[in-house]
Structure 1
Amino acid sequence: MNPIYILLSILIGGVIIWFAPPPVVTDTVIVTIADETETHFLSEPVGSQIKKVYGFYNNVWNGGTYRFVSITDTDISRIYESHIDFVDSRAKQFFSNELERIQSIKHLYGTIDESILNSISDSSGRDSTISYITIAKELNRLGDIVSSRRVVLIYSDLMENSTLINLYDTTQFHLLKEQPDSVHSMFQMEVELTDLSGIEVKLIYEPINAHDNIRYRVIAGFYKDMLERKGATVVVEANISDL
């Protein structure tokens, strides 16, 4: 074949590739909130489930943010965080270093693994549990972020035991069960939830017995209603079935 034709074919092919629409990229934010006030929960974060949501195996140019926050006996929590910007321009993708990109993805994956490992090892029985403030602050923070997908994974029995309310106290638990609007107002006075539209929330907890199951259904139902009022999509499950 004439070398000129070969060169023209290469140039035309290059132009087509250059100006063709780039593959659709996603920008996913995942916030994992894990309760460390108990010695052990049957449901715990699984790194492989979280990693696959970013879809880096399909497109290394996807964007991703991972944030891990602990529920403890204080409202100042240990935080792990990692971020990768999405690249939606074919020109930027062409001039970017793909090997460096893969290393950035590995770093984000490493942050996921480290946060989960340390959370499991640091979990211990504590006298108090500050759940709502921790959860509300993270949800409000996420509400201000623009992203193609925002997911919050909450691994907790949601048994608040703080100056806000002590759900281990029979009288106070009965108040939440029989007068949820009253407790809802009390929570909003502490930290008011902002617009949560577009945020996916998964309440993940596997009860240890029948009594625990009844109790958790009440609390999870309360949280589900409270968050859905603000526009969030809420799913209650024992383990992540689908992300």
Structure 2
Amino acid sequence: MKATIKYITMALLLWSCNQTPPKSITVAVLADKTDSVIPKPNIPHIKYFMDSPVYEKGKRAFWYGTITNTSVNAQYKAELSGSTLLENSLKRKTDVERFYKEIASHLEHENNTSKTYNNSSIITPLVAELNRIKQSNSADKVVLLYSDILEASDLLNVYETKGYLELRSHPDRVVERLEQQLFIGDLTGVELYIIYYPKELKDNRLFEQMLSIYRKLFEGSGLVIRVGIDNPLSTEP
């Protein structure tokens, strides 16, 4: 019996040495609740990143937060642990399905909440989330920001004439002020996807101007910024 156990142990060790270590991923969603025209998070977007063969046996974590008119908003988390060496494949499949079902249920609940807010800070909670996910021990780190990224806070209010003109004529001043007020650490390894589809020319211009601010603000941090998911409008290597 001891010899049998010894051979089984050696076989398992040899097998594990030949296996590629499973990759892990954390996907964090920030849902902007300040405008009803902003796209809502959905499970296909989440699975687009998580439901890949490279994460089949690895740990998968999902974070969800909202952007409203307050600086601190409730967070939701769901986690799928990495599979064990002797884990039953049927159990793993059941655990994965349950994981996605929980996320879909939460998103449906949040998306059916129709309340919107007039004032908001987009950049402050975003920077906090980017710095937080950077500390995650996941191999891959993704933040999905569902927002028009139009700031309406003490830092900048693009809906007021003063803020709008400053954004249009003096973007460097805006970047300088944001740099003074926000802590942006090393964000190497973090990807940010901004999900918004402007419907009017004016909205598109404002969005592009704010996107330019974001690119300058995070320049040198290592953060990868993309717009959209399936066919990114623009990317930053």
The normalised TM-score by structure 1 is: 0.81
Going from structure 1 to structure 2, the CA distance change for 1:114 and 1:186 (only over 3 Å counts) comes to farther
Q: What's the secondary structure of 2:219's corresponding residue? A: helix
* Aligned counterpart for 1:222 among listed residues 190, 213, 216: 213
The within-5 A match list for 1:123-142 is 123-142=114-133
Pair 23,114 (structure 1): closer, same or farther in 2 beyond 3 Å:
same
Q: Which moved more, 1:196-205 or 1:113-122?
A: 113-122
Root-mean-square deviation (CA, aligned residues, Å) is: 2.7
Task: Determine which of 28, 40, 44 is the counterpart of 2:40.
Answer: 44
**Is 1:111 the equivalent of 2:105?**
no
Larger Rg: 1
Listed as ranges, the matches of 1:1-150 within 5 Å are 16=11, 19-20=14-15, 21-41=18-38, 43-55=39-51, 60-87=56-83, 92-94=84-86, 96-150=87-141
Identity within the alignment, %: 22
Structure 1 residues 170-211: Cα deviation after superposition (integer angstroms, max 9, x where no partner): 221221233333222322333311111111111111001111
Q: How many residues align?
A: 226
Q: Within 5 A, what are the aligned runs for 1:161-240?
A: 161-237=152-228, 240=230
Q: Please list the CA deviations of residues 18-56 of structure 1 after superposition, one character each: whole Å capped at 9, or x if unmatched.
A: 512224411011111111111232x33221231242236
Q: CA deviation at 1:133?
A: 1.2
2:24/2:55 contact within 8 Å kept: no
Which string of whole-angstrom CA distances, capped at 9 and with x for unpartnered residues, describes residues 44-97 of structure 1?
Answer: 32212312422366764221111011111111112211122335xxxx411x35
SS across alignment from 1:151: strand
Partner of 1:4: none
C-alpha distance in 2, partners of 1:104/1:78? Answer: 25
Q: Does the CA-based 8 Å contact 1:67-1:82 persist in structure 2? A: yes
Q: How many Å separate the matches in 1 of 2:54 and 2:205?
A: 41
CA contact (8 A) 1:56 1:62 kept: no
Separation in 2 of the partners of 1:75 and 1:184? 20
* 1:59–1:212 distance in 2 versus 1, CA, 3 Å: closer
Indicate conservation of the 8 Å contact 1:153/1:203, yes or no: yes
- TM-score when normalising by structure 2: 0.83
Are the structure 2 counterparts of residues 189 and 118 from structure 1 closer, same or farther at C-alpha, using a change threshold of 3 Å? farther
SS in 2 for 1:228: coil
The 2-side partners of 1:71 and 1:144 are apart by 21
Conserved? CA contact 1:33–1:152, under 8 Å = yes
**Partner amino acid, structure 2, of 1:200:** E
Partner of 1:5: none
- Deviates further, 217-226 or 133-142: 217-226
